[in-house]
Amino acid sequence: MKSKVLAAVTLATIAVCGPAMAADLPTPPPVYKSPQPAGYSWTGCYVGGGAGYGWWTQDSFVQVAGAPITASTTNGGKGWFGQGQGGCDYQFTAPFFNIPLLVGAFGDYEGGSIRGTSSFPGFVGTETESAAWAAGARIGALIAPRILTYFDGGWTQAHFDSVGYNLAIAGGGPTGLSLAAQTYNGWFLGGGFEYALDWLPISGLFLKTEYRYSQFGAANVPITGAIAGFPAVGVTLNSQKATEMISTELVWRFNWFAR
């Protein structure tokens, strides 16, 4: 009987004192968890500059008073150019098939010397695309948080300098005929990749590479001057041009309007 009473007293003592004794034990230190990295936003504006290589082709024929007098001739040129660009993008918070989307608008200017040939039967000259500019929009997908792939399109102009024609024979000299400088209007489509250079000490730098195709409407460009004493009156060169270019730019995204 005494052993049962002693056991009951012992259990009661443990029940009362156990929580107090546990409270006196040291508390283990909390386990440190690093904060989750914030998601990068491509929303914002940017400026960029770079260079590239381009080439143009044209189909042209001579007209007098609007009537063709020569067969169509195909010419072309190629060369290097420099480029500057500015624009703004917006990244959608709701992904499409778990791939974040981006839309944006931009404008750019290219200057250089993409040089080739302008010719028609018996005559040949050097023609140079010296400038081009474009305004358009793009849509892209973030295939990784720091890698964007995109397509773009819009309106463009290209300026070609005047041409002085020589006789298209060995040793042929100037003929006195020239083609007026002309700015051509058209549209463009392109696509490329943009990559965040977040390993550099300067934040906001990106590297962008793009291919672009531009198609321009036909234009009747005046041929002026005289040959053998006969002035070129009502003579035009009907020319339709297309250009292609590949460019690489270093972009600084300053994200004034980033979320």
Q: Is residue 33 part of a domain?
A: no
Name 236's Cβ contacts closer than 8 Å, sequence gap at least 6: 62, 63, 66, 220, 221, 222, 223
What pLDDT sits at residue 70? 94
Average pLDDT of 207-234? 91
- The pTM score is 0.80
Alpha-helical segments (H) within the chain: 2-23
Tell me, what CATH number does 151's domain have? 2.40.160
Residues shown for the chain:
259
How is residue 2 written in tokens? 């005494």
Tokens 């041409």, residue located: 163
- Domains contained in the chain, number: 1
| % of the chain residues with pLDDT over 70 | 81
Tokens 């358009």, residue located: 136
Q: Is residue 97 part of a domain?
A: yes
User: What is the tens place of the pLDDT at every residue in 109-156?
Assistant: 999 999 999 999 999 999 999 999 999 999 999 998 899 999 999 999
Q: Is residue 1 part of a domain?
A: no
Tokens 């989307």, residue located: 101
Q: Is residue 258 part of a domain?
A: no
Q: Is residue 6 part of a domain?
A: no
Average pLDDT of 18-41? 51
What pLDDT sits at residue 28? 57
| DSSP 8-class letter at 233 | -
User: What is the tens place of the pLDDT at every residue in 40-96?
Assistant: 678 999 999 999 999 999 999 999 998 999 999 999 999 999 999 999 999 987 776
Q: Is residue 31 part of a domain?
A: no
What pLDDT sits at residue 202? 84
What is d(CA 231, CA 48) in angstroms, rounded to the nearest whole number? 48
What is d(CA 35, CA 32) in angstroms, rounded to the nearest whole number? 9
What is d(CA 116, CA 113) in angstroms, rounded to the nearest whole number? 9
Q: Is residue 18 part of a domain?
A: no
Q: Determine the structural domain holding residue 249 and report its residue range.
A: 44-253
Q: Is residue 209 part of a domain?
A: yes
What pLDDT sits at residue 207? 96
Mean pLDDT of the chain: 85
What is d(CA 212, CA 147) in angstroms, rounded to the nearest whole number? 19
Is 16 a residue whose pLDDT tops 50? no
What is d(CA 57, CA 34) in angstroms, rounded to the nearest whole number? 58
- Who wins on pLDDT, 85 or 229? 85
| DSSP 8-class letter at 34 | P
User: What is the tens place of the pLDDT at every residue in 173-186?
Assistant: 889 999 999 999 99
